[in-house]
Amino acid sequence: MDNRALNKTDKVKNDEFYTQIPDIERKCSHYKVPLKDKTVFIMYIMIAFFAASCAAFSFRAEEPRFIPDDFLGVSPDRSPLKEKDYALLDELNATWTRRTLRWSSVEKEQGKWNFDYWDKYVDDGKAAGKKLLITLGFDNPYLYKNHKEHRDLTEKELPFFLEYVEKTVLRYKGKVDAWEIWNEPNLHFWKGSDARFFALAKATAQRIREVDPTAKIASAAFWRAPERFIRGMFEIGAMEYVDAVSFHPYALSPAGAVKLFDKLAKILADYDFKGEIWSTEVGYPTSGVYPTRVSENNFPSHIIKTIAGLAARGSRTVVWYELQNDHNKGQEPSKLNSEAFFGIVYPDLSYRNGAYAYRLCGRYLAGAEYVPPQNIPKSVTALFFRREGENILILWSERPMKARLSPAGNVIPLIHSIDSSAPPLPAPSVLTITRAPMFITWEGETMDFQLIKSN
């Protein structure tokens, strides 16, 4: 996510929440980098997140969905991705890795190309059996007299960018599984006009398609679901060549993330878009100043609810941000830097509590079918999945309540720990359902579910 974007408000105003709040937009346009302004802006962005969280919402999807075997991935930006790291990804049931192959990393001087680092990344990833999502993007300092990236490519610079796209796609044709065009252009990763980005996105997708007609192309990875920006992309034809729409449903809560999926799907339906929706970044820091931070205790719950909720809605891919913290346990350099606290594991590869939740989702949801639950009242949030004779039921409720599962024959439902390596335990005859999701599995047929009224 790289939320240095919180200091850069010129593009954030394109998010629909800001366009609906002119006073916030006007005030934010004056903010620079100082901490006091950053603090004020964080307050405004919290207002935007809160505005999105107030509408009535049901977590359940009403239509059955098949979840691909390879739906789950990670952003390994802080990982060296050596052999032991790939073994960890296997353990976590993570299939995809997402990285940004920055233009300036392969052409540091004009005409001098060096792909050595990325050759190894691609070869190692494929040898490890991973699927590679690579983001193409950003500027190149050699284009400018001040030797700094402008993140605004005009018609003059665009041919140089397209040369980088062509060389990269041709080099990794048949090895990279999907290409993504730029990261979060509605935030600080793009600083030019919307119209210029739309032109770049269209030209890039077209060039990829020319180089590799079979390539899987994802759109720009939108931060949240900026309606006017996305509609602008469609209106100019920038989505003509893409197979999937990529977005980052960062929100204050799992419900907020799933609501953003619903919003995006509604926008795409207006254009009769038949491709897929990919959630190529989502996550929560457990410390720092970001408004999306969550407590350590609630971290596993947020992971389960977010991944399961997006999968049930039909997100083809869910890429978790981030694989690693940038410090080991007890070695936090600062409690203020949220970017340091997104990981599900530490650099020494020991698990944070969220890793157990992520692993459960990979183990049980990949290759499953979401089935709208029957005979479960809407006062309980229930997500039900079936795969190869296994049943998976995830339950939670905003207020505590009791319920009874009625297994058939000798079937024994098991409750899995979502935050530790403790083995699953037989479910009691009466379940106490709370805000923390209960992850239940069993083999065989479905079960009857009955709420028990409290006295």
Q: Tokens for 433, please give them.
A: 């359902």
Residue 261 has phi, psi (to 5 degrees) of: -60, -45
From first to last of its 455 residues, the chain has per-residue pLDDT tens of 544 433 333 333 333 333 332 332 333 333 233 333 344 434 444 545 554 554 557 888 999 999 999 999 999 999 999 999 999 999 999 999 999 999 999 999 999 999 999 999 999 999 999 999 999 999 999 999 999 989 999 999 999 999 999 999 999 999 999 999 999 999 989 999 999 999 999 999 999 999 999 999 999 999 999 999 999 999 999 999 999 999 999 999 999 999 999 999 999 999 999 999 999 999 999 999 999 999 999 999 999 999 999 999 999 999 999 999 999 998 988 889 999 999 999 999 999 999 999 999 999 999 999 999 887 887 889 999 999 889 999 999 989 999 888 777 788 899 999 999 999 999 998 999 999 999 999 998 777 767 665 44
Q: What is the CATH number of the domain that holds 99?
A: 3.20.20.80
Whether residues 267 and 319 share a domain: the answer is: yes
User: How far is 176 from 122, CA to CA, in rounded Å?
Assistant: 7
Regarding whether 383 and 363 lie in a shared domain, the answer is no
40 and 131 within one domain? no
Q: Which pLDDT does position 140 carry in this prediction?
A: 96
Helix, strand, coil share of the chain (percent; to 5): 35, 20, 45
How many Å separate Cα 25 from the centre of its chain? Answer: 26
- Three-class secondary structure of residue 50 per DSSP: helix
Q: Are strands 217-218 and 414-416 parallel, antiparallel or unpaired?
A: unpaired
Phi, psi (deg, nearest 5) at residue 61: -90, 145
In a domain, 319, yes or no: yes
244 and 131 inside one domain: yes
Q: Is residue 58 assigned to a domain?
A: no
261 in the same domain as 199: yes
pTM: 0.88
Which residue range is the domain that position 416 belongs to? 376-452
CB neighbours of 388 closer than 8 A, spacing ≥ 6?
A: 367
Q: What is the pLDDT of residue 449?
A: 67
412 touches 278 (CB < 8 A): no
* Of 340, 370, 400, the domain-final residue: 370
**Domain stops at, among 312, 345, 370:** 370
20 with 133, same domain? no
Q: What is the pLDDT of residue 357?
A: 98
Write down the pLDDT at residue 409: 73
User: Is the domain of 195 the same as that of 332?
Assistant: yes
Give pLDDT, residue 455.
40
Task: Indicate whether 388 and 288 sit together in one domain.
Answer: no
Q: Are residues 356 and 381 in the same domain?
A: no
The answer to the question of residue 208 being in a domain is yes
Domain CATH code at residue 435: 2.60.40
Pair 333, 386 in one domain: no
Do 293 and 333 fall into the same domain? Answer: yes
Residue ending a domain, among 353, 370, 387, is 370
Cα gap 349→81, rounded to integer Å: 11
- For residues 273 and 337, state if they share a domain: yes
Q: CB atoms < 10 A from the CB of 236, how many? A: 16
In a domain, 21, yes or no: yes
Task: Count the domains in the chain.
Answer: 3
CA angle 94, 95, 98 (to 5 degrees): 95
Q: Using alpha carbons, select from 86, 165, 101 the residue that is nearest to residue 133.
A: 101
Residue 13 belongs to a domain: yes
Assess if residue 250 is contained within a domain.
Answer: yes
Q: Is residue 60 part of a domain?
A: no
Residue 144 contacts residue 150 (beta carbons within 8 Å) = yes
3-state secondary structure (DSSP) of residue 65: strand
**Cα separation of 199 and 213, whole Å?**
20
**Residue 59 placed within a domain:** no
